[in-house]
C-alpha cells in the first residue's frame, strides 16, 4: 500500500504552493499519496508561517498534538518546514526531539534526501539554507486537471519593510529564468489550464534572465504577461502579490493592451497615512498609491482592487487611522486582508515604542473591516442582473450539489450546473449577493 503524507499549510499562497510541491517531490521519490488525516499518515509535515503573533508557539502546539502518533508508529516521520523553520532551524529539534526533519522554503526539494538521511543516520536532519532558487529545477513537471494553476516566478523579498519577517525567512528576491516560466505555463496550458496566476512575494519586481545571449538583459513582468497571453489555451492571467513601488507605467500599459490580464489587482497599501508609510519603510506616499490606481482605472475602468492593511502600527494616531479610512472611501477596495500589527522579533519596527491601547487598535480594525465589507457587498449587489464569465473551480463549499466559479474580478459565484463544467468557462447571470459570495444562473442549459 502506498505510504501516506499529511501536509498542513499555515501561510500565504506561496506557502500553499510550496506544500503542493512537497507532495509532488515525495510522490515522485517514494510514491506517496496525500491524506487529510494525520493519524493515517506515514509522513506528517507542518509548513509554517511566521508573519504574525505567536507563530513559534503555535508550531510547538501542533507538534504536541501529533507526538503520540509517533509512539504508536516509530517509523512515522514528522517534519517542520516553512518560515518558522527557516528562522528557528535546529532550535526546533532541541525543543522537540521527536521532530525528524526541519527544512526551509528554499530546501523543500531536498525532503526525500533529508528523510533518507534521517532513516540511515538515526539523527534528526536540519537544512534551512538558501541555495538560490535551485528548488525549481528539482520539482516534477506540474500535473493538473484543474482549469487554473499557479506558476511561481520568483522567490524571496528584498524590500525589508520595517514590520515584516519575510525577507529574513525567504531570503532575497530572485527571479526564475523567463524560458523556465514560459515552458511551465505552456505545459500547463497543454493539460487544459486556462488561467495562470503568477506567484511571488513581489511579482512586479520580476527580472528574469533569458537563456539566449542575443536576447535583451532581462524580462520584466509586463513582458512576461504579454508573452503568456500569446500562449494558445491561456485565457486569463492573474498575478499576486505586487508592490506599489514597482507598479511601473509599462505594467499599467499592459492593462490597456492585454484583455486576458484580469480586471482585479491585489495591491497592498498597509496604511493611508504618509507618516506611518514612512515608518513602515514602504517607499511610497498615499498620493503616489492613488496615482497608480487612477492611472490603472484610466485604462481599465472596471478594475477591482483589494489590499492588505496593518492596523495599530507603533505610533499610529487617530488622525493617521482616519487617513486610512479616507483612502478606502476614495478608492473603494472590494476586499482586504487586514490585521493588527504584531511585532516580529528581529525586525526594525519591533524596537519602536507603542502607546496605543489594545482596545483602541481592535476598535480601529473592526471599523476598517466593516467599511470594506459594506463596500464589498454594495459592489457585489451592483452585479445583480449582469452576466459574468466564470472559470468553474469545483463544487460549492456549502452545497456540493452546486458549482463554484470565479469571475475575472476574483468574485466567487455559486450556481447549479453539471459537474463536467469543472475546469471550463461558464456564463452565469448574477441573481443575488450573499455576504461573501454571489449566486447565479447558468445561461447555457444544453446538455454537455
Ligand atoms: N509582499 C507583500 C507586500 O508587500 O504587499 C505582502 C506579503 S506579507 C507576507 C502579507 C501581509 O502580511 C502584508 O501585506 C502585511 O499586511 C501583513 N503583515 C506582515 N507583517 C506583519 C506584521 N508584523 N504584523 C501584522 N501584519 C503583518
Ligand atoms: Fe514583507 Fe514588505 Fe517584502 Fe511584502 S514587500 S514581503 S511586506 S518586506
Ligand atoms: Fe508566512 Fe512565510 Fe508566507 S511568513 S505569509 S508563509 S512568506
DSSP letter for each residue of 330-368: HH-EEEEEEEE----TTSGGGGS-----HHHHHHHHHHH
Check: CB of residue 379 under 8 Å from CB of residue 304.
yes
From ligand 2's centre to the CA of 1, what distance in Å?
A: 43
Is 170 touching ligand 3 by the criterion CB < 6 Å? yes
Ranges in the chain, pLDDT < 50: 447-448
Helix extents (H) in 229-357:
249-257, 274-280, 286-299, 318-331
Is 168 touching ligand 2 by the criterion CB < 6 Å? no
Q: What is the three-class DSSP state of 172?
A: coil
Between the CA of residue 326 and those of 264, 316, 359, what are the distances in Å? Answer: 21, 15, 22
From ligand 2's centre to the CA of 379, what distance in Å?
A: 29
Is 15 touching ligand 3 by the criterion CB < 6 Å? yes
**Residue range 233-265, pLDDT digits in tens:** 999 999 999 999 999 999 999 999 999 999 999
**Residue range 163-209, pLDDT digits in tens:** 999 999 999 999 999 999 999 999 999 999 999 999 999 999 999 98
Read off the C-alpha cell for 420.
Answer: 463536467
From ligand 3's centre to the CA of 261, what distance in Å?
A: 26
SS (H, E, C) 33-77: EECCCHHHCCEEEEEECCCCCCHHHHHHHHHHHHHHHHHHCCCCE
Q: How far apart are CA 42 and CA 72, in angstroms?
A: 11
pLDDT for the residue numbered 217: 76
Going by alpha carbons, the residue nearest to atom 16 of ligand 1 is: 308
From ligand 1's centre to the CA of 339, what distance in Å?
A: 9
Q: How far apart are CA 159 and CA 179, in angstroms?
A: 26
Q: How far apart are CA 311 and CA 213, in angstroms?
A: 47
pLDDT for the residue numbered 445: 64
Instruction: Enumerate residues lining ligand 1, CB below 6 A.
Output: 12, 51-52, 157, 163-164, 166, 201-202, 241, 243, 268, 270, 308, 310, 339, 341-342, 344
H helix or E strand, kind and range, residue 5: strand 4-9
pLDDT for the residue numbered 448: 46
Q: What is the three-class DSSP state of 393?
A: strand
From ligand 1's centre to the CA of 309, what distance in Å?
A: 8
Dihedral pair phi/psi, residue 397, rounded to 5°: -60, -50
pTM value? 0.93
From ligand 3's centre to the CA of 14, what distance in Å?
A: 7
Is 83 touching ligand 3 by the criterion CB < 6 Å? yes
**Residue range 113-123, pLDDT digits in tens:** 999 999 999 99
- The bound ligand whose nearest atom lies closest to the alpha carbon of 280 is 2
Amino acid at each position: 500500500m502506498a505510504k501516506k503524507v499529511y501536509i498542513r499549510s499555515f501561510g500565504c499562497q506561496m506557502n500553499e504552493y510550496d506544500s503542493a510541491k512537497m507532495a509532488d517531490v515525495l510522490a515522485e521519490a517514494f510514491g506517496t499519496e496525500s491524506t487529510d488525516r494525520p493519524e493515517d499518515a506515514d509522513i506528517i509535515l507542518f509548513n509554517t508561517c511566521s508573519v504574525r503573533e505567536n507563530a513559534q508557539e503555535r508550531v510547538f502546539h501542533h507538534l504536541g498534538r501529533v507526538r503520540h502518533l509517533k509512539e504508536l508508529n516509530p517509523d512515522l516521520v514528522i517534519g517542520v518546514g516553512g518560515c518558522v523553520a527557516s528562522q528557528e532551524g535546529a532550535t526546533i529539534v532541541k525543543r522537540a526531539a521527536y521532530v525528524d526533519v526541519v527544512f526551509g522554503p528554499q530546501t523543500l526539494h531536498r525532503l526525500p534526501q533529508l528523510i533518507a538521511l534521517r532513516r540511515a543516520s538515526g539523527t534528526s536532519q536540519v537544512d534551512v539554507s538558501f541555495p538560490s532558487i535551485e528548488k525549481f529545477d528539482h520539482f516534477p513537471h506540474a500535473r493538473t486537471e484543474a482549469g487554473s494553476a499557479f506558476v511561481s516566478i520568483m522567490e524571496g523579498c528584498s524590500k525589508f519593510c520595517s514590520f515584516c519577517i519575510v525577507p529574513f525567512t525567504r531570503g532575497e528576491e530572485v527571479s526564475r529564468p523567463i524560458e523556465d516560466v514560459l515552458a511551465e505555463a505552456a505545459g500547463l496550458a497543454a493539460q487544459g489550464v486556462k488561467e495562470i496566476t503568477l506567484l511571488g512575494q513581489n511579482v512586479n519586481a520580476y527580472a528574469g534572465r533569458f537563456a539566449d545571449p542575443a536576447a535583451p538583459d532581462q524580462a520584466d513582468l509586463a513582458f512576461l504577461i504579454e508573452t503568456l497571453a500569446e500562449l494558445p489555451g491561456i485565457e486569463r492571467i492573474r498575478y499576486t502579490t505586487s508592490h506599489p513601488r514597482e507598479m511601473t507605467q509599462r505594467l499599467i500599459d499592459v492593462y490597456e493592451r492585454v484583455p486576458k490580464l484580469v480586471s482585479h489587482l491585489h495591491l497592498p497599501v498597509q496604511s493611508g497615512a504618509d507618516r506611518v508609510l514612512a515608518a513602515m519603510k514602504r517607499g511610497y506616499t498615499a498620493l503616489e498609491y492613488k496615482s497608480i490606481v487612477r492611472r490603472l482605472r484610466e485604462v481599465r475602468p472596471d478594475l477591482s482592487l483589494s489590499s492588505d492593511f496593518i492596523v495599530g502600527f507603533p505610533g499610529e494616531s487617530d488622525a493617521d487611522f482616519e487617513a486610512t479610512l479616507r483612502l478606502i472611501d476614495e478608492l473603494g477596495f472590494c476586499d482586504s486582508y487586514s490585521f493588527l500589527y504584531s511585532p516580529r522579533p528581529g525586525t526594525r519596527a519591533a524596537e519602536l515604542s507603542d502607546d496605543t491601547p489594545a482596545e483602541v487598535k481592535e476598535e480601529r480594525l473592526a471599523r476598517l473591516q466593516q467599511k470594506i465589507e459594506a463596500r464589498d457587498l454594495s459592489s457585489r449587489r451592483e452585479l445583480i442582473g449582469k452576466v459574468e464569465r466564470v472559470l468553474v473551480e469545483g463544487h460549492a463549499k456549502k452545497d456540493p450539489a452546486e458549482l463554484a466559479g470565479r469571475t475575472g474580478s476574483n468574485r466567487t459565484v455559486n450556481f447549479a450546473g453539471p459537474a463536467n463544467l469543472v475546469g471550463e468557462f461558464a456564463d452565469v447571470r448574477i441573481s443575488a449577493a450573499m455576504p461573501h459570495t454571489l449566486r447565479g444562473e447558468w445561461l447555457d442549459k444544453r446538455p454537455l
